[in-house]
Amino acid sequence: MNFWEKPLEDLNRTEWEALCDGCGKCCLHKVEDEDTGNIYPTNVACRLLDRDTGRCSNYRSRRSFVPDCVRLTPEAVAQIVWLPRTCAYRLRADGDPLPDWHYLISGDREAVHRAGESVRGWTVAEVEAGDLENHLVDREL
């Protein structure tokens, strides 16, 4: 059995980290409607997100710079409603297989970008964005 087919709680740290496909979608800012509690995605990238690679530019120390950066755990994955529909952690938590473009399946880190499942090409930098409400996206993440 390949490690990415195991239940999330059975993965070691290296396997857990390797499950990330590098799409970068979880690193986009979200806006919460105060009246309904609904959460809406934006096209505004966290300041640490490399918008070309879809990876955090300072992963190890990210919480020092972005204190509210969410740490994914098997328990958290089950509770975070805004994780992208294609997120490997969400898929595996639901017992679903990884998509063909996931690098663990395809062997190619660029496949996520070619499939149009990453932040590459349609996001803006946090420092340039202004009000998040002006950057809501209607695409399903």
At 11-36, the pLDDT tens digits run: 999 999 999 999 999 999 999 999 99
Mean pLDDT of 40-67: 95
For tokens 């919460």, the residue is 32
pLDDT at 36: 92
Sort strands 124-125 and 55-56 into parallel, antiparallel or unpaired: unpaired
Instruction: Answer whether 32's CB lies under 8 Å from 38's CB.
Output: yes
Sort strands 55-56 and 28-32 into parallel, antiparallel or unpaired: unpaired
The phi, psi pair for 29, rounded to 5°, reads -65, 150
Instruction: Answer whether 47's CB lies under 8 Å from 68's CB.
Output: no
78-117 per-position pLDDT tens digit: 999 899 999 999 999 999 999 999 999 999 999 999 999 9
pLDDT at 138: 82
**Stated pTM of the model:** 0.91
